[in-house]
Structure 1
Amino acid sequence: MYSNKESVNILTALLAAHGVRRAVVCPGSRNSAIVHNLNECPAISCYPVTDERSAAFYALGMCQAANEPVVVCVTSGTALLNVLPAVAEACYQHQPLVVVSADRPGQWIDQLDGQTLPQPDALGRFVRKAVSLPEPHDDEERWYCNRLVNEALLACRQNGGGPVHINVPLTEPLFDYCVEKLPEERLISLYTPKAALIDGAIIREFENAERPMIIVGQMKENPSLAIDLERLDGAGYVVLQEPLGSKGPTARYLEEAVALVENDDRYLPDCIFYVGDALVSKRARKFLRRARHAHCWEANPEGVPHDVLMNLTGIIQARPEEVLLQFCERRSHAFRNLWAAARMKVREHQEHFEPPYSQLLAVKWLEETTARDDLSSAIHYANSTAVRLGNLYSWHHIHCNRGVNGIEGSLSTAAGYSLVSDERVYCVIGDLSFFYDQNALWNRNLRGNLRILLLNNGGGGLFYQLDGLSASRACDDLVAGRHQTTAEGICRENNVAYYSADNAAVLENRLGVLTSEHSERPIVLEVFTSAEQDAALYRKYYELLKGKI
């Protein structure tokens, strides 16, 4: 019988699944549930050592002899600090020492309770990975616990190996052993190709799946990748991406296509290949998380797992292009054609949808103008509403600071880009982002190739698209940051050409200026709209689309 502590059972199951066969265990009450489980698990042999410092070196010696991960399990408090000498040695020897420490619950740390100290980062830079497990109360916390243990046990083997630390906070009571068997836990695997060719079994699994899908998150601009993704689309694979991934036919209509099919399980994949970083579309992430039983492989050069869809099967430590090149023509294009039909409905909807004067119209016209007259330009979008509008109409690769999605620095990033590029550089930015980063214009090195489309609807427009928030009396002034500020004075102070628009006729004329007029200094076109009307129009765009099902 195993402990009733779910985090301990998840940990034990994954230690066995990752091939851990030996554990050096030290005395203690707080870690007794872990020691009990290690002793009960038939796949793991336990070796008792009383002194924690000595125990950790025992485990290090086992790592050296067996050339595989070995656990040293200690109780809470200073017991953990005593393993540090062996951990430091394991760090410099690249040995996969797995430190498992029991801990008091977080609420009792630094509260004069017994045998407590801050443990999660106690081993500092000497470990490759340090995680502290939750005590799960729901499915998301169970997924999180599983993911953390997988991440730590992958890290101890990567790039030559090294020590890791798994901290396990446990609430009392501690001594209930009533669980008959360990859970069947998801194992995340790491595959590191020894040569350019990827294991044929992984390739065949994807090629032979009924509903394979390639997801492309944000990536650096890469023309060869765009060509290969277009090839794979033609070969019968569903390729879902946004313009932040690459440009081309498959980089359009992701958000709208998912909105069209999100309640139909026929569109869920059974096998996913994920490359790149984040997707902007929250709707797409939520939809793909429903494919809980799909096999999901991610490829990145670092071999770092990102379980954004909550179904990661394994990581291929390789450049995405190296893997994508090995996918061949599929026998059946049925799943790809199903998605293609949804995309065609979106395309037809967008071609017939004529927005009135709004931020939506401003972005639509800018994209149409640059596609016709300025194909060599680079276009940056700020976060929040701006990049979502860009994803609707963009014909090009989108530059955007999506790493952490902050509103600061978008204008400065585009300005820095413009100093190195000889082509026109556009920055489409909302009012809060612009005013937050207005010092980007306080620079004498800026030139006339920087063009800024400032979408000013008097506040954070994205907040008006969030269901329920408008009911709060704090929404306008305290959350959305309502204001009556304009950029005219800022531009005058910084010798920046300034134009504005407050209706469609003026907007059309001033966009011509923004995209074609010669200037020695940057140009700003400030477009004034209503936040409420912008939000209503954005909702209407999707409501009319869904009516086409």
Structure 2
Amino acid sequence: MNPSTAQAQVIVDELVRCGVTDAVLCPGSRNAPLSFALHAADAAGRLRLHVRIDERTAGFLALGLALGSGRPVPVCTTSGTAVANLHPAVLEASYAGVPLLALTADRPPQLIGTGASQTVAQPGIFGDAVRLAVTAAVATRAVGEQGRWRSMVDRTVAAVTGALGGAPGPVQLNLPFAEPLVPEPGDADWPEPIDGRPDGAPWTAVRRGCRTAPVLPLDPSAPTLVIAGPGAVDADLGGAPVIAEPSSDRWPDGLRSGPWLLGVPSMAGLRPAQVLVLGRPTLHRPVQRLLADPDVAVYAVEDRAGTSWTDVAGTVRAVGAAPALSPPAEWVDAWRSADAAAAAALDHALDDADTPDGLRLARALLAALPDGAALVLGSSNPVRDASLAAVPRPGLTVLANRGVAGIDGTVSTAAGVALAHPGPAYALLGDLTLLHDTTGLIVGPDEPRPDLTLVVLNDQGGGIFSLLEQGAPEHTAAFERIFGTPHTVDLGALCAATGVGYVQVDDLADLPAAVATAPGLRLVEVRAQRGGLRAGHAALRAVVEGAVAPVIAGG
């Protein structure tokens, strides 16, 4: 057996021993040793292999698999720009704490800087986005190095899962392979059994530790508002009002209209004395303004994995474990009364077809999904629409790429989540997010196919900018071309070209039937207009204020 083949087979075998159950592969020549080894592991039922033609798509598919399963997932590429195309997924994994392993094949070091084809300086290519970057020595013999190779894999898996300390996140294992790159006739499929270890166990067993943080020095009985984002940890909140983003585990306990209430002037009398931040909230400007208020004491709960806390305004006074809260009952009741009034007014307003289509779609979709479903929310408007309009509910696994909040790779992330999730899977996307990852729709005939329904709000451009400073009336002359970025893509034709099921929904009353559980990859298109988005949100803010003001005044 040639050295490159032997090294690749040992690496894949050790990854399986470390708990890897899925791997993503892109075709190439330099990564041929790993490609053969991964194919053999798939054929033997030791892992499930997913092959994709585009490295950026492959990176986000692996990210979605890891996000949905919580297990490390390797994505294997050939050398050169193939590696660079993993960078967006690596960045998202880094900031979201997702265990993604970039398994990058490389040329032997003597070829670097010689002008050899598909050769770049790959060690360190991801900078500080990775928890660890390891470049292996070129294998020069097929025997005698098994322990070294296995130890290297165990170290990288420990880093990717956070077992070495710190948060889980991406790791690069860079593997220079010398020719020959393909197995020889008569080669065994797998390395010989290793001695002195239990069957199937890793070469080096590494257990992940947990941090124990000191209790926060806050007043548990003070009026306390909880702000929760993705990664929120469990805490005894004592009934305190919670404003949670949909991709937070605390969302089912959250106030329905929390982000709206923070922008209502009449709520000033209910301003909290202190705020407890769980996870990484990033969605809403009223939340960020509250956290920046110097008159409000802000505390952050530490993640046991050691993930860094969120403190954009630099106001956090301490980071630690949350004590059991017991805020004043009358203050909590006042918040809940305001929320009930705002929610009723919102629902009444959203029943009107003239209100923003994205908000109405998010409310309808999250109500229609079956218990046990997974939902991936696209960045920009969809995740905000869900937060502003949907009724918080248990029974759903809601995920989003909020590490760096990009729109790239979302189709592939959702496909990975669907392949890892035991129940039905859905995604709510905007049209530009879909078009940014059209290669995510391409699944080869021999590949595991996700059961995934993509619900796409097609307003033919970038709706989010209508709600930002760029959407102000004084920028009208330039807005549509450079921010609205209109397009004329026929999504039905795109689905026909890629073999994806397609249905168009013209009436939201038909949405539950359109998203009813069905196997395969499908796209449900809901067409919308962007023109009244800014005015529509302003009108809803006025509706909430009108509903809340008399409740607060009467309380």
TM-score tier by shorter-chain length is 0.5 to 0.7
Deviation per CA, 1:401-454: give whole Å up to 9, x if none. Answer: 111111111111101111122311111000111101111111133636200111
**Residue 340 to residue 310, structure 1, CA distance change in 2 (3 Å):** farther
Counterpart Cα distance in 2 of 1:512 and 1:408: 29
Contact 1:451/1:523 (CA < 8 Å) preserved in 2?
Answer: yes
Runs of 4+ in 1 over 4 A off after TM superposition: 194-197
2:440 equivalent in structure 1: 440
Partner of 1:493: 497
Where do 1:252-263 residues align within 5 Å? Answer: 252-261=256-265
Instruction: Give the CA deviation at 1:208.
Output: 3.9
Tell me if the contact between 1:268 and 1:291 (Cα under 8 Å) persists in the aligned partners. Answer: no
The question of 1:350 aligning with 2:349 is answered no
- Give 1:365 deviation, angstroms: 1.9
Greater relative contact order (Cα < 8 A, sep 6+)? 2
Residues of 1 paired with 2:325 and 2:487: CA distance?
55
Q: 1:196 to 1:306 in 2, by over 3 A?
A: closer
Provide the C-alpha distance between the structure 1 equivalents of 2:269 and 2:457, rounded to a whole number of angstroms. Answer: 38
User: Hey, what's the Cα distance between the residues in 2 that align with 1:368 and 1:448?
Assistant: 23
Over 3 Å counting, the alpha-carbon distance change for 1:416 and 1:363 in structure 2 is: same
Determine if the alignment matches structure 1 residue 215 to structure 2 residue 217: no
User: Partner of 2:25 in structure 1?
Assistant: none
The alpha-carbon distance between structure 1 residues 297 and 375, as it changes in their structure 2 partners (threshold 3 A), is: closer
Question: What is the match of residue 380 of structure 1?
Answer: 376
Tell me, what secondary structure is at the counterpart of 2:532?
helix
- The residue type paired with residue 287 of structure 1 is L
The separation in 1 between residues aligned to 2:428 and 2:213, in whole angstroms, is: 41
1:369 maps to what in 2?
Answer: 368
Residue 276 (structure 1) aligns with: 279
Aligned pair in 2 of structure 1 residues 352, 255: CA closer, same or farther (>3 Å)?
Answer: same
Instruction: Choose 342-351 or 376-385, whichever is displaced more.
Output: 342-351
Structure 1 contact 461–531 (Cα < 8 Å) conserved:
yes
Identity among equivalent positions (%) equals 20
Task: Quote the offset at 1:535 in angstroms.
Answer: 4.0
CA deviation after TM superposition for structure 1 residue 294, in Å: 1.9
Q: Residues 276 and 386 from structure 1, CA distance in 2 versus in 1: closer, same or farther, beyond 3 angstroms?
A: same
Q: 1:531: how far off? A: 0.7
Contact 2:462 2:485 in 1 (8 A): yes
Provide the TM-score with structure 2 as the length reference: 0.54
Match of 2:481 in 1: 477
Q: Structure 2: which amino acid aligns with 1:509? A: D
Is the contact made by 2:426 and 2:453 (CA closer than 8 Å) also made in structure 1? yes
Counterparts of 1:403-442 in structure 2, within 5 Å, are: 403-442=403-442
**Structure 1 residue 249: Cα displacement:** 3.0
Contact conserved, 1:218 with 1:279, CA < 8 A, in 2?
A: no
| Range 530-539 or range 377-386, more displaced | 530-539
Paired residue secondary structure (1:532): coil
Separation in 1 of the partners of 2:336 and 2:287? 16
Written as runs of structure 1 = structure 2, the 5 A alignment for 1:532-547 is 532-547=531-546
8 Å CA contact retained: 2:455, 2:523:
yes
Quick one: distance in 2 between partners of 1:416 and 1:196? 33
How far 1:527 sits from its partner (Å)? 1.0
Partner-residue secondary structure (3-state), 2:254:
helix
Partner of 2:529 in structure 1? 530
* Cα 1:233–1:254 shift into 2, 3 Å: farther
Residues 463 and 276 (structure 1 numbering): CA distance in 2 closer, same or farther, change over 3 Å?
same
Contact 2:261 2:544 in 1 (8 A): no
- Give a deviation string over 1:491-513, Cα, whole Å, max 9, x none: 11111111113x32xx4335413
2:330 paired with 1:327:
no
8 Å contact 2:373–2:424 — kept in the other structure?
A: yes
Unaligned runs of 5+ in 1: 1-123, 129-158, 161-193, 317-322
Q: How much has 1:289 moved relative to structure 2?
A: 1.5
TM-score under structure 1 length normalisation: 0.55
- The structure 2 residue matched to 1:461, chosen from 448, 458, 463, is 463
Could you tell me how far apart the structure 2 residues matched to 1:348 and 1:461 are? Answer: 26
Distance of 1:534 and 1:270 partners within structure 2: 34
SS at match of 1:499: strand
Residue 240 (structure 1) aligned with residue 243 (structure 2): yes
Q: What SS does the aligned partner of 1:547 have?
A: helix
Cα distance in 1, alignment partners of residues 451 and 457 from structure 2: 19
Equivalent of 2:312 in 308, 311, 315: 308
Question: Counterparts of 1:535 and 1:512 in 2: how far apart (Å)?
Answer: 30
Task: Determine the C-alpha separation between the residues in 1 that align with 2:347 and 2:457.
Answer: 23
Asked if residue 250 in structure 1 is aligned to residue 254 in structure 2, the reply is yes
Q: What residue number does 1:360 align with?
A: 359
User: What is the aligned partner in structure 2 of residue 206 from structure 1?
Assistant: 219
From 450, 473, 498, give the equivalent of 2:452.
450
- Aligned counterparts of 2:294 and 2:331: Cα–Cα separation in 1: 15
The residue type equivalent to 1:499 in the other structure is V
